[in-house]
Amino acid sequence: MKMRESWNLLFILLPVIAGAIAVLLSFQLMRRYRMPFLQSYFYYLVFLYIFGVYSLAGSGLLQFILTRMEAQVKVVHAALFYTLLMGLPFLLLSKYMIIRSTGEFMNRKLYRGFTAGYFILAVLIFTLYGVLIVRLTRFDLGQYQQLISLQRWAFIATMALVYLGWAIWGFSGLKNMSDPHQKRFMRVFMLWYLLYMCFNVLTLLFSSFLPVIPYLFLFIFLSWHLLPILFLTLYLEKHHAISPSAQRDFEARLSAFATEYEISKRELEVIRLICKGWSNQEISDNLHISLQTVKDHVHHIFLKTGIKNRVQLTNLIRVS
């Protein structure tokens, strides 16, 4: 029994840690590139993370604690409903921020009527759900089970409607974008989150079949964002300049790194492009040198610094 409880806690903790990493990475991107859509995307992840930790992971921990205390089933269910109620505003805010982030990236303004209507609807949803929760003390156990089922279906319907509506609106705006790199990024980005919606819906639909599926839902809900953030990072490194303050800081670190390890000017040029995520072939084309010469430079850099790959090189420069 203790081993099973330990595994349950681990399955709750892992997605919480992964979600925190995603928020931290998005914060670093926001600080580095100073772009409005990155700020909105960061707040999307923050609000979603608060809901995930407080209402989803928190409700799992609360259920674990109350069950060990041998609390009544009705009390356990009521406590879980209240944790979901308190986290609901953050979930609603997160959906608005992903829509806003997409609009900022595509230079499409959200109409004031849409924003006002969205938040009026959000307040209405929160109020109605709150009234329902307050009346829970009058419910019997069978009605609790019905409410749990209704809550699950309401969550599925809301998530599907929001993400599908967001994707339709986003894909309709692609035709107005002239930059092919921006188009490709936004298309892949939206597909990632449509998959995110699909996996969440599927795990919710089958959550009552196996005990492990609710943990899988929590893992997807909080951890999935690491994948689009990785893609976003690669896109920004190739197609956008970092902010002046971040650029000055990077150049200062790079200069200190070159002095410490006796890096030549040509090797420094290669390192600068490696840090942007460029391949050996792309570096060769940009610097007008052969591919073998690039490989030789990279080999010499690795020998001088004692590292084995590009990730270690980038990390070494960050701490210089």
CATH number for 294: 1.10.10.10
pLDDT of residue 141: 53
**Max Cα distance, the chain (Å):** 78
pLDDT of residue 91: 93
- Say whether both 249 and 232 belong to one domain: no
pLDDT of residue 178: 79
Residue with structure tokens 């079949």? 209
Residue 70 structural domain: 2-239
Between 9 and 39, whose confidence is greater?
A: 39
Per-residue pLDDT of 26-73, as tens digits, reads 998 888 887 889 999 999 999 999 999 988 888 877 777 777 777 777
Residue with structure tokens 């960061």? 42
Average pLDDT over residues 181-186: 88
- Say whether both 32 and 164 belong to one domain: yes
Average pLDDT over residues 237-260: 74
- Say whether both 14 and 120 belong to one domain: yes
- Say whether both 169 and 216 belong to one domain: yes
Rounded CA gap, 103 and 50, in Å? Answer: 23
Average pLDDT over residues 207-226: 89
Q: What pLDDT band is residue 164 in, cutting at 50, 70 and 90?
A: very high
Count of structural domains, the chain: 2
Per-residue pLDDT of 122-157, as tens digits, reads 999 899 888 877 776 565 555 667 777 777 888 888
Per-residue pLDDT of 57-69, as tens digits, reads 888 777 777 777 7
Residue 312 has pLDDT above 60, yes or no: yes
CB atoms within 10 A of CB 301: 20
CATH number for 164: 1.20.1070
Between 75 and 195, whose confidence is greater?
A: 195
Residue 298 has pLDDT above 70, yes or no: yes
- Say whether both 274 and 166 belong to one domain: no
Rounded CA gap, 286 and 278, in Å? Answer: 10
pLDDT of residue 153: 86
Rounded CA gap, 104 and 117, in Å? Answer: 19
Residue where one domain finishes, among candidates 193, 217, 239: 239
pTM: predicted TM-score of the whole model, two decimal places: 0.73
Across 80-94, 104-118, 207-221, 229-243, least confident range: 229-243
* CA–centroid distance for 124 within its chain: 27
Judged on CB neighbours under 10 Å (0-12, 13-18, 19+), 197 is: buried
Q: What pLDDT band is residue 202 in, cutting at 50, 70 and 90?
A: very high
Residue 220 has pLDDT above 70, yes or no: yes
Residue where one domain finishes, among candidates 190, 219, 239: 239
Residue 108 has pLDDT above 80, yes or no: yes
Q: What pLDDT band is residue 241 in, cutting at 50, 70 and 90?
A: low
pLDDT of residue 112: 84
Rounded CA gap, 83 and 66, in Å? Answer: 13
The 3-state secondary structure of 63-92, one letter per residue: HHHHHHCCCCHHHHHHHHHHHHHHHHHHHH
